[in-house]
């Protein structure tokens, strides 16, 4: 994808230096709305081995967007960078949201695993709102929206429970300081197997 002007300075570099498996010298940062949906604060592009973090221009002007700080969003995206070679969707967002200072976002942030799921939710919400305004089978659309959110919440609760068990086991093996770093390097299957081991021990 063609990119606009690149901003080379990482203002929060000191906060990122400890992230596992990340070479900051190989990452560039720029500010642009191009390719971002209105509800997306940032995106990571990887092309021919070149990693670029794209942030919404609001981060450059105000340092925040949609309640997220620049540092939180960069930390989030760098976890995606560290796991980009794995292509494992189940725990990807859970790991990325672990960098959030908000307990609410750490738990509910990974409700959607992919951008397609987020887009489906926004589209469903939009259609449901229109159906309510114009009174076109609103109950049908609200039931559909509720089912979509309900499925996501049930899936999230199960996945968070598995991750918590895997994290507990990793703390036992590696210690609290290295537990998260070690989990970032694991595949979904390896994290699930680790969670099952915790079950076996209890």
Give residue-wise pLDDT tens across range 7-30.
333 444 434 445 555 666 678 888
- Which residue intervals of the chain are DSSP H helices? 13-16, 57-61, 70-82, 92-97, 103-108, 115-133, 138-174, 176-184, 188-201
pLDDT for 132 beyond 60? yes
Task: Report d(CA 72, CA 143) in Å as an integer.
Answer: 34
Q: What is the pLDDT of residue 21?
A: 55
Among residues 69, 85, 101, the one where a domain terminates is 85
Which of these three, 52, 85, 118, is where a domain ends? 85
Mean pLDDT of 78-82: 89
- Mean of the per-residue pLDDT values for the chain? 86
Specify whether the CB–CB gap between 170 and 141 falls below 8 A.
no
Domain termination site, one of 55, 85, 115: 85
Q: Residue 99 has what DSSP assignment?
A: T
**Domain that includes residue 118, residue range:** 90-202
Nearest to 166 by CA among 200, 131, 124, 121: 200
State pLDDT tens for residues 24-77: 667 888 899 999 999 999 998 888 777 889 999 999 999 999 999 998 999 999
């Amino acid at each position: 994808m063609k990119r606009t002007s690149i901003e080379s300075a990482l203002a929060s570099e000191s906060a990122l230096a400890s992230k596992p498996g990340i070479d900051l010298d190989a990452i560039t940062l720029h500010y642009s709305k191009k390719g971002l949906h209105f509800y997306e604060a940032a995106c990571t592009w990887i092309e021919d081995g070149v990693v670029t973090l794209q942030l919404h221009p609001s981060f450059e002007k105000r340092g925040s967007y949609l309640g997220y700080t620049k540092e939180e969003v960069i930390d989030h995206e760098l976890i995606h960078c560290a796991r980009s070679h794995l292509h494992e969707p189940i725990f990807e967002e859970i790991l990325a949201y672990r960098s959030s200072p908000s307990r609410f976002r750490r738990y509910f942030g990974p409700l959607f695993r992919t951008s397609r799921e987020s887009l489906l939710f926004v589209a469903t919400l939009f259609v449901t709102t229109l159906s309510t305004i114009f009174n076109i089978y609103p109950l049908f659309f609200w039931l559909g929206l509720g089912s979509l959110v309900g499925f996501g919440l049930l899936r999230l609760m199960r996945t968070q429970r598995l991750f918590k068990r895997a994290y507990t086991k990793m703390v036992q093996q590696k210690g609290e300081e290295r537990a998260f770093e070690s989990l970032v390097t694991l595949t979904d299957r390896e994290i699930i197997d680790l969670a099952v081991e915790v079950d076996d021990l209890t």
